[in-house]
Structure 1
Amino acid sequence: MSVKGDNESKESVHRTELYASIPPSCLPIVYHPDYNITFMGLEKLHPFDSGKWGKVIHFLKEEQFITDGNIVEAREATEEDLLVVHSKRYLSRLKWSLVVAKITEIPPLVFLPNALVQRKVLRPLRTQTGGTIMAGKLAVERGWAINVGGGFHHCSSDKGGGFCAYADITLAIRTDQVSGTVFLQGNGHERDFLDDSRVFIMDMYNHNIYPGDRFAKRAIKRKVELDWDTEDAEYLQKVELHSEGALNEFHPDILVYNAGTDILDGDPLGGLSISPQGIVKRDEIVFRAAKQRGIPIFMVTSGGYQKKTARIIADSILNLHQQGLIGAEAMNREEFPSLSTHSMCCSGSAGSAHTTV
């Protein structure tokens, strides 16, 4: 498939190899073992569980929802794929270990050869980025998709941060050439879509925490600011109210759902008090809103800084299947209209992680 790139005042066309032919028997759930970052224990220096994606898959296999044969294997985004959004200057900066150390917030990386950093840290992030782009295409074709990784909402076209080195959400929307809606203080994609009327951003976040990017907030069309220790009842009421309101206000081609779990009670960074059941219900509300309107939706898993988040993500995916919101029978192509050029990004998270619809 050919896509257009718009960088450094130049427009180019390239053919991406990310869109392999996916057998109809495969569920549009995207994953690759390369998602997981493990290297001499350095990953333990960051509160993020960099192996959670494999744990999610393990739990889903235990419940016999998926097998190795019925999920989609992600492909690594190439430099040419990344140039659809990122500049060559930014990608060149990632060849410095110091820059990657700052973005990932793992200081010891500065002492490692960049070739090693590329292989052990950036390649997994590029593979997850490829997975997000693939999930966007699959959602258009199947009505829904889930990238078990991705959701790098703090990265924009020219700046990384908060463990986010590639702007996968921006890449998915621009590569697939659709319009969408995003929830959350995802300052990376907010900066990228600041003046783009095709993208509606609904952001639901703890306004007291990282990143506090006032410039990026100008891109938010529906801002839902939460206070410290917000609990289930208030949170879920606002998720439902504002999801309905946003989708009544804007009619996207696709809903990009950045389903962060840093809203979980006890998260060291999120500052909210949402239960595991509340997270499962949140995801159900968003997927149900999309299905009722016939809007294709894809989910990325984003942030969350407790070991138990993998189990919660898996439970949420299983619940979506039990509710008939995902699965082989969940959404036939005839149920939603042909796509135009609008996107809606929706984020349901504390602020350090985001839910993008």
Structure 2
Amino acid sequence: MPHRTELYQNFPPTCWPIVYSPDYNITFMGLEKLHPFDAGKWGKVINFLKEEKLITDDSIVRAQEASEEDLLVVHTRQYLNRLKKHILESFEEWSFVVATITEIPPVLFMPNFFVQRKVLRPLRTQTGGTIMAGKLAIERGWAINVGGGFHHCSGDRGGGFCAYADITLAIKFLFERIEGVSTATIIDLDAHQGNGHERDFMDDKRVYIMDVYNSSIYPGDGFAKRAIRRKVELNWGTEDEEYLQKVRMHVEGALNEVKSDIIIYNAGTDILYGDPLGGLAISPQGIIERDEIVFRAAWRHRIPILMVTSGGYQKRTARIIADSLLNLHHLGLIDKKDLAIGEARFTKVEAGSEQ
């Protein structure tokens, strides 16, 4: 029997299947600025969407923190214990682990209660949001977690600002709890290889992984690459035309190759030109078009889709994410209707897919 969880709740149909909590945002005495990640981008996306009158605080789903029991669905207890207080003489071993994962060395010297509240709790809340969004995607046809996408974390290790394996967790929860959901496709379009979920699903034929990434950057995990069913390695500085052509071709190829019960779309914006870690050269409009390609393909194949926002290391990425969601809404690819009501919407979207 699956464990009891607070994450699988029912929400009124008047709510958008957009998941967020103000607790996503990370602030701790300015130390978050030592990592290029914009640790407040999730709140900025929501504020932009409010300004454009797409959502209100009451019309979206409030994310809840994943509990230890929730995390143990994927993570080993040994790994979770390493993220907890474990004092060894003059330093705290667990803070060393968190400092390594977040790539912010001063975290090593922070008191344990402070790091738990200011760093790990926001990441656990984003993880809970991804799990919640998985259920919503099955019910409504689509869902977006404005955070999440921690694709460098696997069941027994973290890295690259990823402390919890939210993508793996969302899929495992669906397999265990939702009747009729037994296969999944991960479309990972973050600039970095998604080695965390690849390690987790290495020998699991139920999960098809497509990964498009810059082959010259972190993590370069050769072992994890063995799990990728459709691998697209990009050169440094790849631009819009080549990138979008490859995304369009390979997304369609992946969905034709395997008909899964859900798509997990890791929509990192670190592909944006000028990103200090991504090494690609995609324009803001290219990112918006990329997201449109993936959502159109999901609707065309009638597969529910869960989107997470993943990496993106420039202040302007929040605006681009918001603009992309507004575009998806304008095109009718996301709205409040659920699948049971919105079957006619598939026809509407398909009719515009060649325009």
Structure-2-length-normalised TM-score? 0.90
- Shift of the alpha carbon at 1:113? 1.2
Report how many aligned residue pairs link the two structures: 325
1:65 to 39, 54, 72: 54
1:233 matched to 2:222? The reply is: no
Cα distance in structure 1, aligned partners of 2:209 and 2:330:
29
Give 1:255's aligned residue.
263
1:324 and 1:330 in contact (8 A); partners too: no
2:319 to 306, 311, 326: 311
1:242 matched to 2:250? The reply is: yes
Q: Aligned to 1:69, what secondary structure does the other structure show? A: helix
Give 1:129's aligned residue.
127
Q: 1:113 to 1:99 in 2, by over 3 A?
A: same
Cα distance in structure 1, aligned partners of 2:271 and 2:338:
27
Matches within 5 A, 1:78-93: 78-93=67-82
Give 1:103's aligned residue.
101
Deviations 1:250-278 (A, max 9, x none): 11100000000000000011111000000
Deviations 1:160-181 (A, max 9, x none): 0000000000000001114211
Give 2:286's aligned residue.
278
Give 2:350's aligned residue.
none
1:40 matched to 2:48? The reply is: no
Amino acid at match of 1:114: N
Give 1:144's aligned residue.
142
Q: Aligned to 1:214, what secondary structure does the other structure show? A: coil
Cα distance in structure 1, aligned partners of 2:101 and 2:58:
35
Q: Mind listing any 5+ residue stretches in structure 1 that lack a counterpart?
A: 4-13, 337-357
Give 2:13's aligned residue.
24
Matches within 5 A, 1:275-354: 275-329=283-337, 331-332=339-340, 335=343
1:35 and 1:124 in contact (8 A); partners too: yes
Cα distance in structure 1, aligned partners of 2:338 and 2:288:
18
Q: Return the index of the structure with the highest Cα Rg.
A: 2
Deviations 1:223-270 (A, max 9, x none): 011101111111111111000000000111000000000000000111
1:135 and 1:146 in contact (8 A); partners too: yes
Q: 1:160 to 1:333 in 2, by over 3 A?
A: farther
Cα distance in structure 1, aligned partners of 2:174 and 2:125:
17
What is the RMSD of the two structures over their aligned residues, measured on CA atoms? 1.2
Identity %: 75
Deviations 1:191-235 (A, max 9, x none): 000000000000000111100000000000000111011111111
- Shift of the alpha carbon at 1:332? 3.8
1:191 to 187, 192, 199: 199
- Shift of the alpha carbon at 1:334? 6.8
- Shift of the alpha carbon at 1:319? 0.4
2:13 and 2:337 in contact (8 A); partners too: no
Cα distance in structure 1, aligned partners of 2:206 and 2:310:
23
1:76 to 65, 73, 79: 65
1:265 and 1:275 in contact (8 A); partners too: yes
- Shift of the alpha carbon at 1:335? 3.7
Give 2:115's aligned residue.
117
Point out the more displaced range, 242-251 or 322-331: 322-331
Which of structures 1 and 2 has the larger relative contact order (alpha carbons within 8 angstroms, sep 6+)? 1
Q: Aligned to 2:79, what secondary structure does the other structure show? A: helix
Q: Which has the higher helix share?
A: 2
2:139 and 2:339 in contact (8 A); partners too: no
1:142 and 1:333 in contact (8 A); partners too: no
Q: Aligned to 1:260, what secondary structure does the other structure show? A: coil
Q: Aligned to 1:200, what secondary structure does the other structure show? A: strand
Deviations 1:304-334 (A, max 9, x none): 1100000000000000000100012474467
Give 2:186's aligned residue.
182
Amino acid at match of 2:18: I
Point out the more displaced range, 287-296 or 321-330: 321-330
Give 1:213's aligned residue.
221
- Shift of the alpha carbon at 1:182? 1.7
Cα distance in structure 1, aligned partners of 2:96 and 2:341:
46
Give 2:155's aligned residue.
157
Amino acid at match of 2:78: R
Give 2:349's aligned residue.
none
Q: Aligned to 2:263, what secondary structure does the other structure show? A: strand
Give 2:353's aligned residue.
none
Q: Mind listing any 5+ residue stretches in structure 2 that lack a counterpart?
A: 85-93, 176-180, 345-355
Deviations 1:16-40 (A, max 9, x none): 1112220110000000000000110
Amino acid at match of 1:92: N
Q: Aligned to 2:307, what secondary structure does the other structure show? A: strand
